[in-house]
């Protein structure tokens, strides 16, 4: 089975086989073809794989499992939530430099895509627009949101500014582009709910913006909500621990 998976993976992975770390997991029976099974293949360059392991070895940690972040986030969500009978849940893992968009459905194709808009991009946008230093922009982002009541810095003489799409709209466009691609490839267009996870999930204005743009329910996920906690719940921002919880609860 393993050798067959490696041969199949080489048809889809634009890397030399000797430089690629490949693994797979059988997901279960095919939903439409009774004589087929669904298989998830994951690949990484050996250089990237070894660099992560090297960091862990330096602190004397010997990992038994190396997982994919989008799968860890999905596992954390699925451990405490049922998927709808029809339609999909859209997970938005808002990180520092990127956002991972994952589509989960009971009967639909699993799909994930990274877009290069994350929390740091929003911070840099505030710095540029309002002439703020990094820590000042971080504070404004947390307390006032992405459209604060501050005087903007002129971008040109005479108070003229170059018109450009704001970062929130860029973010929304990337999410929308991903959903449109999924609809085109699968025919499924029922997106029931958006779930925010990751370090940027608590950004003020983000949830309201997504609700308005996609006319759907949007919530920040709390992976500790159904756990018995000794104390605290992630310093008031539990969504940032979603991937860590997904890794911790995985058994094999």
39 or 163, greater pLDDT: 39
Provide the pLDDT for residue 126.
92
**Domain regions of the chain by residue span:** 1-66, 69-249
The two tokens of residue 220 are 């920040």
Q: Is the pLDDT reported for residue 212 higher than 90?
A: yes
Measured CA to CA, the distance from residue 140 to residue 138 in angstroms comes to 5
- Strand-pairing partners, residue 112, are 102
69-249 — its CATH code?
3.30.420.40
Check for a shared fold between 1-66 and 69-249.
no
Provide the pLDDT for residue 14.
65
Q: Is the pLDDT reported for residue 159 higher than 50?
A: no
CA within 13 Å, CB half, 140 = 22
Q: What is the mean pLDDT of residues 40-57?
A: 84
Provide the pLDDT for residue 163.
45
Asked whether the whole model's pTM tops 0.75, one would answer yes
Provide the pLDDT for residue 162.
46
- Strands of the 217-220 sheet, one edge to the other: 111-115, 99-105, 88-94, 191-197, 217-220
246 CB-near residues (< 8 Å, 6+ apart): 67, 71, 72, 73, 74, 75, 76, 77, 79, 223
Mean pLDDT of the residues in the chain: 85
Class of domain 1-66: alpha beta
178 or 43, greater pLDDT: 178
Confidence label for 225 from pLDDT (cuts 50, 70 and 90): confident
Confidence label for 160 from pLDDT (cuts 50, 70 and 90): very low
φ/ψ of residue 70, rounded to 5: -65, -35
Measured CA to CA, the distance from residue 166 to residue 147 in angstroms comes to 10
Cβ atoms within 10 Å of 58's Cβ, excluding its own: 8
Provide the pLDDT for residue 230.
65
The two tokens of residue 64 are 């038994």
161 CB-near residues (< 8 Å, 6+ apart): 152, 154, 155
Measured CA to CA, the distance from residue 123 to residue 134 in angstroms comes to 7
Per residue in 97-156, pLDDT (tens digit) is 999 999 999 888 889 999 999 999 999 999 998 999 999 999 999 889 888 888 888 555
Q: Is the pLDDT reported for residue 224 higher than 80?
A: yes
């Amino acid at each position: 089975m393993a050798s067959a998976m490696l041969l199949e993976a080489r048809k889809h992975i634009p890397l030399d086989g000797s430089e690629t770390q490949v693994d797979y997991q059988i997901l279960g029976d095919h939903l439409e073809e009774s004589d087929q099974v669904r298989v998830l293949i994951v690949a990484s360059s050996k250089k990237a794989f070894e660099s992560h392991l090297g960091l862990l070895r330096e602190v004397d940690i010997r990992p038994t499992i190396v997982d994919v972040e989008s799968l860890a986030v999905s596992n954390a969500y699925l451990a405490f939530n049922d998927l709808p009978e029809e339609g999909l849940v859209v997970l938005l893992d808002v990180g520092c430099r990127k956002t991972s968009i994952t589509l989960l459905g009971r009967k639909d194709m699993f799909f994930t895509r990274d877009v290069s808009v994350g929390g740091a991009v929003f911070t840099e946008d505030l710095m540029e627009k309002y002439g703020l230093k990094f820590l000042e922009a971080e504070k404004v982002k947390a307390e006032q949101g992405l459209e604060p009541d501050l005087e903007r810095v002129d971008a040109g003489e005479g108070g003229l500014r170059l018109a450009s799409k704001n970062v929130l709209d860029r973010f929304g466009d990337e999410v929308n582009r991903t959903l449109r691609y999924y609809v085109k490839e699968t025919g499924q267009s029922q997106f029931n709910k958006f779930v925010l996870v990751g370090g940027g999930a608590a950004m003020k204005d983000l949830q309201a913006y997504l609700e308005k743009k996609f006319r759907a329910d949007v919530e920040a996920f709390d992976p500790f909500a159904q756990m018995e906690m000794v104390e605290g719940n992630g310093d008031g921002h539990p969504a940032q621990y979603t991937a860590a919880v997904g890794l911790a609860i995985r058994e094999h």
